[in-house]
Amino acid sequence: MVHGLHSSRVLIINNGVRHESQSWGAEHAPEIDPTMANSIRLIKGAAAVKYGPGALGGVILVDPLQPRLTTPLQGSADLTLHSNGRSARSSLFLERGYSGFAWNVQASGLYQGDLHAPDYMLTNTGARERSASAGGLYHRGRLDINLHYSYFQQKLGILRGSVVGNLNDLAYAMQHEPPAYTGDFSYQITTPHQQVSHHLLKLQAAHSFDQSSLHLQYAFQANHRQEFDVRRGTNNEVPSINLELLTHTLDAEWKHPNLGRFNGAMGVQGQYQDNNNIPGTNTAPFLPNFNSLNLGLYLSESASFGRSIVDAGLRMDVFSASVRGRDRQNEIFSEELTYRSLTASLGLLRPLNAWSSLQTNLGLAWRPPNMAELYSFGKHQTVVEYGMRRQTIPREGENELSYKWVTTFSHEHNRLAMELTGYLNYIQNYIYARPAGITTTVRGAFPFFVYDQTNALLSGLDASFSFQHSPRWVSSLRGMLLHTADVQSQDRLIGIPSNRLSYALAYSREQLGRYKNFSAGLESLYVFRQYQAPPVISPEALLSAEGSGNDRFAASSSGFDFMPAPQGYLLLHLTTGIERGRLGLRLGVRNLLNTAYREYTNRQRYFSDELGRNFTATVKYHL
């Protein structure tokens, strides 16, 4: 979640490569092993233009540890246990570096059973993960060559009680706790579940010259996603979505010599994708097959004027796709699409005094509609939806364009550090799914959603303060405020994150007797109720309106939700850690008060509470 946006509107750069997957599903987590991420950073300013279209919210860089030269053989092994889900996660990391060559390898796995809410089990929410990676660095003179391969595989159970056949089922599921099919704890994962695998291969070369450097990178990604629904008979073993997405990316960048006060880089990026339905799902494909090509050219520069730094970036992209799908009648349809637009950024960083600075940035970003927004047709999870080009009166599907202004004030003086960020993001042609009617199927009445576009304005404030009470005690306070408006129809948008406030108190000591790096902390998080949620029309109201022939959708295009936004909630987390020699130990409790709560942005909130208290323990051994 970056500045109120997520999924298709945030670019994830995994180890220098645009992560390409079926990111159209809000519940599809990125296929990246969390244990592998050594650093996660948010890119601000003009540097973001090198990563391409899609960064309406921002760019997140996820970087694993890189191979390091002249490093003795070393590594670490760790094991993490969670009481909630009775899970074990383990990972192993090894590295070795010589003067001209270095390598590292990593492997990890997760085995998790059913999670539980404070008052009941969440049946069929187990998970399995396996991942492995290997990296090599060759260094000679001014040349560096990097080769990296990683594999990630995940099987993820979906709450059994969240499967609904029609509006009656939905009404029942929403009113009853515990959810249907709630059973005893089990490690078993049955339908519904998702299975994904992701391969990433990257070859990168960098050559430095006297005052400039050249970077070349090729990456190949293979993403395979299968979704298994509750179906009759042998179809229960057959995925109803089975998609394979292959992505080739080629990057070339030249960091040019400083020209007077200017330094910067220019580059080209090409990306070719091939998306295919793997036959045998026994159901009409939810998404079509497509091949797409994106070509981008960019320039980013920064210059110092006195104590101020100005940075600017400009990028031009052309995206074209050839799409072939099949409709319900098994007829082939095919379309050729072309989208193009500019990405631009202009920023100023200005120190105000020795301890404060102001950074302000104007940005233009865009993304073409994704394939689900254009072509989805039918039921996915609990909703029936139709993409923009598959509706009775098809819509073209325009680029989403974001005009964003971000300003950050940073201050660090004595024992106080603070950062205040305000932003305004006007998104033209904002794509969202709007409830558009009730369709009668053999399963009974079902609400359906159509993808539509509007103009939205997001305005927000992120604030963080940290105060060092003493060398050992530090407090930090963070807050996030977000206001969104559909400026075209004055409606409220659904699924926008609500405001939140957190406070943490931490204690740390470098030495504690024979132990070192002792730390302990208490964190409290309060999430406010989403006061901007759209009006509620319950399934019962929809059913009775339908029964009386009263079309609730005819009057306006206004959005609604089936359930009111959940109440605000308070969570407390405790964590403590200590090290001795090569051994490190961390203990923690998440949701200490065992608060029963539901999170507005999680679609599961119609069916069940979020996770209850979770005790965690991690042992890490440095080899």
- The residues binding another protein (CB under 8 A) are 163-166, 168-169, 172, 176, 180-181, 197, 222, 224, 230-233, 235, 244, 246, 274, 276-285, 288-289, 291, 322, 324-326, 328, 330, 332, 334, 377-379, 384, 386, 392, 437, 439-446, 448
525 neighbors 570 (Cβ within 8 angstroms): yes
DSSP 294-325: EEEEEEEEEEEETTEEEEEEEEEEEEEEEEEE
- Closest to another protein by CB, 197 vs 345, is 197
Type of residue at 88: A
Q: Shortest Cβ distance from residue 286 to another protein (Å)?
A: 10
Nearer to another protein, 232 or 514 (CB): 232
For residues 213 and 255, the answer to whether their CB atoms sit within 8 Å is yes
Over 113-180, what HEC string results? CCEECCCCEECCCCEEEEEEEEEEEEEECCEEEEEEEEEEEEEEECCHHHCCCCHHHHHHHHHCCCCC
Of 383, 367, 482, nearest to 434 (Cα)? 383
Taking CA atoms, 106 is separated from 64, 95, 135, 586, in Å, by 10, 9, 9, 21
Q: Identify the DSSP state of 382.
A: T
Cis peptide before 192 (omega within 30 of 0): yes
392 vs 490, which CB is nearer to another protein? 392
Q: How far is the CB of 125 from another protein (least distance, A)?
A: 17
Helices (H), 521-611: 539-547
Angular region, 328: left φ>0, alpha ψ -120 to 50, beta rest? alpha
377 vs 560 by CB, closer to another protein: 377
Q: Which two tokens stand for residue 69?
A: 């030269």
CA distance 603 to 170: 13
Closest contact distance (angstroms) between CB of 540 and another protein is 13
Please, what is the minimum distance in Å from the beta carbon of residue 411 to another protein? Answer: 51
**CB nearer another protein, residue 282 or residue 304:** 282
Nearest to 55 by CA among 67, 42, 70, 36: 42
Q: Are 424 and 392 in contact (CB under 8 A)?
A: no
| Sequential DSSP letters for 441-466 | ETTEEEEEEEEEEEEEEEEEEEEEEE
Q: Which is nearer to another protein, 301 or 385 (CB)?
A: 385
> In the complex with another protein, which residue's Cβ is closer, 51 or 151?
151
* Shortest Å distance, C-beta 102 to another protein: 29
CB of 527 to another protein, least distance (A): 32
If DSSP codes are grouped into helix, strand and coil, which group holds residue 496? coil
What is the rounded distance in angstroms from the CA atom of residue 100 to the CA atom of residue 71? 11
Report the nearest approach of another protein to the CB of residue 322 (Å): 7
Task: Please state, as a whole number, how many other Cβ atoms lie within 10 Å of the Cβ of residue 40.
Answer: 12
DSSP string, 214-262: EEEEEEEEEEEEEEE---SGGGGGS-SEEEEEEEEEEEEEEEEEEETTE
Phi-psi region of 144 (alpha: psi -120 to 50; beta: other; left: phi over 0): beta
Closest approach of another protein to the CB of residue 270, in Å:
16
Minimum Å gap between C-beta 15 and another protein is: 20
Nearer to another protein, 281 or 357 (CB): 281
What is the nearest approach in angstroms of another protein to the Cβ of residue 22?
Answer: 14
371 CA to centre of own chain: 18
In the three-class reduction of DSSP (H, G, I as helix; E, B as strand; rest coil), residue 355 is classed as: coil
- Toward another protein, which CB reaches closer, 309 or 433? 433
C-beta of 280 vs 513, nearer to another protein:
280
546 or 579: CB nearest another protein:
546
Residue number, 168 or 524, with CB nearest to another protein: 168
